[in-house]
């Protein structure tokens, strides 16, 4: 599932190619996504200029002349910029046409989303799906010890495991399953430790680890397990850098202890029992 690094990589690849261009056409081949694609999307978007592309959590925010187009990649979605003359693929769901360029949402499982928020309804921050998201990990609000304090305060009296606390995204967004395991290893915290028992020093290490791991993942082009490719069709390479994720039974790269695997909330978690003592 594309997480924050993969969505950021997608944004970085798309924005230089379509920002400033005018949408000349919108084609909906199958609008039955997680939420139905607005049937009048073509009428809404045609002739609007794409001013910029932002990101909030895992949502891509296309700022247009009269509002925001919001795209979520779901479980298996990808966005690619291709020549409009390139043939369509079987799971292409929606395309935005920019003259001779085509921005195509390819989504085999149809868990993605294409939504519209007009400026007449207020700032994009007021969009329902964005209101409850935690702070952005690279924002000033999460920098330095501010991030540590956010994690510390949000985790108080929480009995849920710290892995699940991070995955929920209500304190800080974007720490998906792979990045949870890697961040907790970097911070030396056992994934089953109750969030409410985190100390301030642990929260400080964890906040730094989250920023470090997510930056490494973005620099590596994200993680490709099955479906993810960037806007040019290239896979991400972060998986070759992981220290614990998907390394069950292999020696820890720090202490040589075999990496363990457990299941938390139906998701696999990997950790070193020596470096991450409970």
**Phi and psi dihedrals of 93, rounded to 5?**
-105, -45
Residue 241's pLDDT is 84
Does the annotation count 251 as an active-site position?
no
Per-residue pLDDT tens over the stretch 219-241: 887 764 445 444 455 544 567 78
Residue 48's pLDDT is 98
Per-residue pLDDT tens over the stretch 148-197: 999 999 999 999 999 999 999 999 998 999 999 999 999 999 999 999 99
Does the annotation count 267 as an active-site position?
yes
Coil, helix or strand for 206? helix
Instruction: Give the burial class of 262: count Cβ atoms within 10 A of its Cβ; 0-12 exposed, 13-18 middle, 19 or more buried.
Output: middle
Confirm if 184 and 167 have CB atoms less than 8 A apart: no
Residue 233's pLDDT is 52
Residue 76's pLDDT is 87
Mean pLDDT computed over every residue of the chain: 92
Q: If you ran DSSP here, which 8-state letter would residue 236 be given?
A: P
Per-residue pLDDT tens over the stretch 43-80: 999 999 999 999 999 999 999 999 999 999 998 899 99
Output the pTM of the full model.
Answer: 0.90
CB count in 10 Å sphere of residue 251: 12
Structure tokens at 228: 């993810």
Residue 191's pLDDT is 98
How many Å separate Cα 123 from the centre of its chain? 22
Catalytic one of 2, 5, 137, 191:
2
Does the annotation count 15 as an active-site position?
no
Q: What is the rounded distance in angstroms from the CA atom of residue 215 to the CA atom of residue 122?
A: 31
Q: What is the rounded distance in angstroms from the CA atom of residue 167 to the CA atom of residue 184?
A: 12
With 90 as the cut, is the pLDDT of residue 14 above it?
yes
Catalytic one of 11, 56, 58, 247:
58
Catalytic one of 149, 158, 267, 273:
267
pLDDT confidence bin for 262, thresholds 50/70/90? very high
Catalytic one of 3, 8, 97, 186:
3
Residue 199's pLDDT is 97
Does the annotation count 3 as an active-site position?
yes
């Amino acid at each position: 599932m594309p997480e924050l690094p993969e969505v950021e990589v997608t944004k970085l690849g798309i924005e230089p190619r379509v920002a400033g261009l005018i949408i000349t056409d919108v084609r909906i081949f199958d609008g039955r996504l997680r939420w139905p694609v607005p049937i009048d999307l073509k009428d809404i978007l045609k002739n609007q200029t794409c001013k910029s592309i932002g990101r909030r959590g895992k949502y891509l925010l296309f700022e247009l002349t009269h509002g925001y187009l919001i795209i979520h990649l779901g479980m298996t979605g990808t966005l690619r910029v291709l020549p409009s003359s390139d043939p369509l693929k079987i799971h292409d769901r929606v395309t935005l046409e920019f003259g001779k360029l085509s921005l195509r949402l390819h989504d085999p499982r149809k868990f993605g989303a294409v939504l519209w928020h007009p400026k007449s309804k207020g700032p994009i921050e007021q969009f329902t799906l964005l209101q409850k998201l935690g702070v952005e990990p690279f924002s000033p609000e999460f920098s330095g010890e501010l991030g540590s304090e956010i994690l510390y305060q949000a985790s108080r009296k929480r009995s849920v495991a710290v892995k699940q606390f991070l995955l929920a995204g209500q304190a800080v967004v974007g720490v998906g399953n792979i990045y949870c395991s890697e961040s907790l290893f970097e911070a030396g915290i056992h994934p089953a430790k109750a969030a409410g028992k985190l100390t301030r020093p642990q929260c400080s290490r964890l906040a730094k680890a989250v920023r470090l791991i997510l930056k490494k993942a973005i620099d590596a082009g994200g993680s490709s397990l099955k479906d993810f490719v960037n806007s040019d069709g290239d896979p991400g390479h972060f998986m070759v850098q992981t220290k614990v994720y998907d390394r069950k039974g292999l020696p820890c790269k720090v202490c040589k202890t075999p990496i363990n695997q457990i299941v938390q909330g139906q998701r696999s978690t990997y950790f070193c029992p020596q470096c991450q003592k409970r």
